[in-house]
Structure 1
């Protein structure tokens, strides 16, 4: 079983939640256009001024996606 990586984009400020939701739309479009192995995305509000959008990719796809989309950070995905 290949490792899964969670790529994360952070958004801050009063519009952070809406921006993260909008960014997730573009992540889904990228997954479809590039025919990635996984179709897992999401948004999370950490507080009123900090939200994030994320996508899960396989370890073998991580470098390509990372270089194309420039996430702010990443972590192993356990799910």
Structure 2
């Protein structure tokens, strides 16, 4: 089984949550256009000034997606 990688974008400031939520819309558009193997995205509010958006990809797709979308960081995804 191929590992799954969670690509993460960090947003800070008073509009972080709205920005992360909006970023997920673009990630979903990317998934539809590129027909990636997985369709797992989301956003998370860490606190009032910090939120994240994420996308999960198969490890074999990670380099291509990373180079195109430039996430801030990544980690192995465990559902």
TM-score by length of 1: 0.99
Runs (4+) off by over 3 Å: none
Residue equivalent to 2:66? 66
User: Using the alignment, how far apart are the partners of 2:31 and 2:52 within structure 1?
Assistant: 18
TM-score by length of 2: 0.99
Q: Which runs of 5+ in 1 are unaligned?
A: none
Equivalent residues, number: 79
Q: C-alpha root-mean-square deviation of aligned residues, in Å?
A: 0.3
User: Using the alignment, how far apart are the partners of 2:72 and 2:60 within structure 1?
Assistant: 19
Question: The residue matched to 1:2 in structure 2 has which SS?
Answer: coil
Please give the residue correspondences for 1:25-64 in structure 2 after superposition, counting only pairs within 5 Å.
25-64=25-64
**Do residues 18 (structure 1) and 10 (structure 2) align?**
no
